Structures are given as structure tokens and as C-alpha cells.
Amino acid sequence: MHFRSPFSIAMAIISYGVSATVCAQARPKAVVYRGPASSEGCPEGVRDLLVSSPSNFEVVFAGPNEPIDVIEALKGATVYAHGGGPNWGEAYRSTKKYEKAIQEFVKSGGHYLGFCLGAYLAGPVNGYNLLPKGVDTEQEIERRGAQIKGQEDAVINVDWTFQSGTTEHKRWLYFQDGVVIRGLDASKPGKIVGKYSANGDVAASITPYGKGSVGLVGPHPEADHTWYEGAGIKNPEGIRFDIGHDFVEATIHAGSVKRS
């Protein structure tokens, strides 16, 4: 029988401890807003998407009623995400106090992920002004040729271009009064990753802001079975998270985003 010396055992323990520490530190940190400007289940949906993504984020909820508020939570974070929520104007008024901190966070190399309401909040009106000049956010349901015309929970067709360069047409995603990103033409920095199939409006985009990037999506690629069951609707292709994961990874790996 082979016996290991006490020294080698001690070194192995130290090595294991260091490796475990490195692994524990390897998970990037994501801050997800949870508070008055979010709806029940929306922050948790974003959290689950981030945790299950290839980057396997460690998620911290932040907000006025959480153990930590947004400004403090942003320290050391890779991502700040804001999911769905209630009234756009009221949401901005209740989160305006974070605006400068969010701008500095992204400008310094962080990444903003806006889902539905969170996407509205990135715009220049009632928002944090994180988009290129001339680009803004509006309601898709008010647009000509929109597939969905009301504020009810629904599913909508989206043409999605993955990081691989492949575009899949007429994919189904959960939708509830989602955003359209207007003005993102060939003269603007950034790229379009999703379009509403019915009229070609921009449903998802990634644009630069300082050293960081801003990913916006109008539908809800983070919606799980509880969302569909709660709304009494079905996704014709089943519930999949490939678009949501691609959105997250494409945003955080955007680097110096170029128009495509």
C-alpha cells in the first residue's frame, strides 16, 4: 500500500482549497433589479435565465426593499439587468436615482440587459439614455403591422439572429406590451439581433455605451412554464431558452460592437 507523506497531503489540501476558491470566484456577478418597478416573477425569471446561461452568473437582487440597493450592488458586477414591470413612466420615476450609477457602470465596461420594461428604461425618454443618439424605445403594439395590438399576455413571432450568424424565422416568444427599438439604422453603432416577424420592427438589439454594451429585448425569452400557465397561453414550439441565453451571451461578449 502506498502512503502519502503528511507534507504531500497538506499540499494537496492547500491546492484543493485554492482551486475551489478560484472556481467559486470564476462566476461573474449579475445584479437584477427587484422592487416597485418590477412585476411579480419577472426578476426571478431573469435570474433563472442568467444562472442557467453558459456564463452561469451569480445573481444578486437589488432594490429599495432588498438587503442591498442598486448603486452599492453594482460594485464588482458584470451585468445589471432589469426585467418586466408595471407602468413605464412610474418605473422611471422610482428608479431615476440609479440613472447616473447605471450610466457609469456601463460606460466603464459593464453590461445592461433590459427585458420588456427594462428595455423601455434604456431609452432617452423616461429612461437612462443608454442608446446611440437618434435611437429610442416605444410600444410595438402601437406600430403599423404589429402582430399584437393589445396589452394582453400573448405569444409573438420573432426572427432571431444567433451569434453563430444563423437566423431562425418566426420563433415564438412570450410577449406583453413589449418594446420596439426605433432608429437603429445602418448609420448607428450596434446590431439588430431580433425582429418582429410581422412587420420587421426591431425587437432586440445590442449597442455600445462607452466601454460596455446595452442589450434590449421586447419579448420575454426568460419566460418559463409558470408564466404561460398563469396567463393561460401556450407556446406552439414549446418553452425553450436558447434565444434568451444567446441574447445574454451576445451582449456580454459584444466588445466593440459593430453594425451587422
Rounded to whole angstroms, the Cα distance separating 202 from 204 reads 6
Span 31-59, pLDDT tens digits: 999 999 999 999 999 999 999 999 999 99
Rounded to 10 deg, the angle between the 42-52 and 242-252 helix axes is: 80
Average pLDDT over residues 205-229: 98
Over the Cα atoms of the chain, what is R_g? 20
> Domain residue spans in the chain?
26-252
Span 109-161, pLDDT tens digits: 999 999 999 999 999 999 999 999 999 999 999 999 999 999 999 999 999 99
- The CATH homologous superfamily for domain 26-252 is Class I glutamine amidotransferase (GATase) domain (3.40.50.880)
Residue-wise DSSP of 3-39: ---HHHHHHHHHHHHHHHHHHHHHSPEEEEE-STTS-
The model's pTM is 0.89
User: 12: pLDDT confidence band, cut at 50, 70 and 90?
Assistant: very low
User: 26: pLDDT confidence band, cut at 50, 70 and 90?
Assistant: confident
Which cell is 84 given? 418586466
5 vs 32, more confident: 32
25 vs 60, more confident: 60
Mean pLDDT of the chain: 91
Sign of the dihedral through C-alpha 238, 241, 243, 244:
positive
